[in-house]
Structure 1
Amino acid sequence: MSRSSEKAQSPGLEVELEPQRIAHGGVSVARLDGRVVFVADAIPGERVLARITDDSKPSFWRAETVRVIEPSPHRRPHVWPEAALERDPDDRAGGAEFGHIANEHQRELKAAVLAEALQRFAGIERPTEVEALPGEADGTRWRTRVRLHVDADGTVGPYAARSHRVIRTAGLPLVTAAIEEIAPIREPFAGADTVDVLAPSEGEARLVIGRQAPTAIRERVGGREFRLDDGGFWQVHAAAPETLSAAVRDAVDPDLFDPRAANLDLYGGVGLLAAALGDLAGPALRITSVESDARATEHAAGNLAEWVGARAETARVERWVRGLADAGAAERARLADATVILDPPRSGAGRAVLEALAEVRPAQIVYVACDPVAFARDAGTLAGLGYTLGPLRAFDLFPNTHHVEAVGRFVREGHA
């Protein structure tokens, strides 16, 4: 490359890089005199001029693309001008790190990250196509919720990529038109550090300013209505709730599904995926939804009221599942035919939850994952605990970002 690694010891140095593959987190992987460099805003297969931004780690450096020398055929004008290459890297808005890549190729890159993670962390060879969701062809106008930040002079906007500095922006192309219309990005704003803007499927778009007291809203999925807090968790892609509900139903092995078993919905939120299971089972469903957020649990109880055998409990999942594992043999036996929906946060379920869950030996686990590496690690743990990964699907719930959602079924050995 153009400079030796010995000379590239301070941020600010510009070097030519040729990224070869994509890494988890949305950055490309290049090498500079044998050293790994993670470079943002580049596409594998092209040659770029990049600025070293961090050389503090002995094993790798970080860089930002300044200029494209030989572009990839998959490069396109960025969908968000404030995040585009024409801006200095320090002034690029965060939250659309794949916006310069054609959408079909974005999905190919996400599939590669998922496949690599499964092979590396679980020893599983599983190429998987990332499926597109309904929406705009360029991957814009899908986001029904966004958090904006407010700086000391009242500027409202997203953070700059990989920083906590607010970027002024003339538009928000990933959000729905209803959100962009009311987002307070055009004039100074005072009174809070954050502003959440959301457009529920029922009712008007609204602002949630700072730590404002929650208000109940309604979201419609198919023919069913869900109540939740306006500041509570809900899938951000307009088509995601229905897509994931269908994917969970499809993932369940009907030969292993007993509606009257002690079925579980762990990290259950307001009951979206428990209801999806209910659509398979009908009124006979027994299911317990476990969620640490008390307000969400309260809403889940109401959202699942049509199933007499459904209940919602407020608890930390790891403690609750450990309580099951430590219960008597009769209690554990009630779970032997259970179907478990597992929808953990981005960090994954983790070994403690999975080991406790494996002790009660449910028949199948339907895992909904929003992070490929965390999912792969958990897949490796489950494999060691006697659960085999069966069908796996992936969905582009976050176009123009590096994020990808996966839904996989794990079956206990002896049931496969």
Structure 2
Amino acid sequence: MTSQHDDTADPAAAPADLIRIPLTEKLLRGALDVERTAQGLLPHRLPARARAQCTDAQLALAESQPSGVRLAFRTHATTVELDTLRTKMANVGAPERPDGVYDLLVDGELTARGATSGGNVLLMDMATGTARTEPGKPGTVRFAGLAEGAKDIEIWLPYNEITQLVALRADAPVEPVPSRGAPVWLHHGSSVSHGSNAAGSSATWPALAASLGGAELVNLGLGGGALLDPFTARAMRDAPADLLSVKIGMSIVNADLMRLRAFTPAMHGFLDTIREGHPTAPLLVITPLLCPIHEDTPGPSVPDLENLSDGRLRFKAAGKPEERAAGKLTLNVIREELARVVHQRAAGDPQLFLLDGRELYGEEDFAELPLPDQLHPDAASHRRIGERFAALAFGPGGAFATRG
């Protein structure tokens, strides 16, 4: 099995041994909406109605990065090529980010990884808060040497690059993969759920947990965007799902978005809206993972610009512990309030559950696998979190073990 990238390919010209496959929504999984652009298909993780209700640039960026979105098809092909136009993020003064990774799964097993080059670059200056886009051309990721015979192929798109799908080619016809009857797990969270520093989109902790738990993932992890927005709750309400989870806390503290007085009713309202569409499905509320800079110190989180000089991007808490008296939120405050809210509601909602995020990543984990930038876990931590979540939620006695 080999993979390669080529940013000089002409997407309109297919090699003689490959046939062009029509790109349609039927080949996509994990997206709540698909926009047709001049280049092709742009997957979205929030529906158009939700996107129209918020002009926040960070949210627009996060929801259009296709974490958990994948092409899925059945084929006899031994070679597959995908042309995409990516938009890659870059920070002024910081090291260049690695290319986004395309994960190739064959019959559910990770078989190869690839990347493209070229594309657009969104250049952000964290010191001034400004950004500009430098345009580029589509690139190609190619997977060759696949095994003979019929097989189910998934190409997981990069979780950290906006990805417009331009063209798909293969050396045999493809068809959508039939449903295997797996439960659909709809998860919402912040940047850690989005992917942060995972090795690839199939290696984010929700993707790993879904694989171990035998579930079909729809990942609404939105970097910086788990803010109890009503439009996100409505998107979850309206999306088909058998299992649901919400991981709340980090984005709210990071943004210093609200005080305790606003947080509690907003949390109730968020859960109320989800329950309108999924009144009896298992619904798991996950409190924040350990993050020492914000355990007892409010946000906002701000870049530690002093570290940029040596090529490191780290974050620090700009709030003060004494501000908790005025209602400013910390992770410990949010954990306590989420526990109280879930306990109160569970009396009338037996399918509502709580999981302390420190069971997924706690003090001992931080000592062994510290957060590289003080906010986000690394690839090894994603695997640990995913494995623990699968055992706690999908395993015996877990919230998702009650399905069916």
Same fold by TM-score greater than 0.5: no
Larger radius of gyration: 1
Q: Which has the higher helix share?
A: 2
Q: Give the TM-score of the pair, scaled to structure 2.
A: 0.29
Q: Higher relative CO (CA 8 A, sep ≥ 6), structure 1 or 2?
A: 2
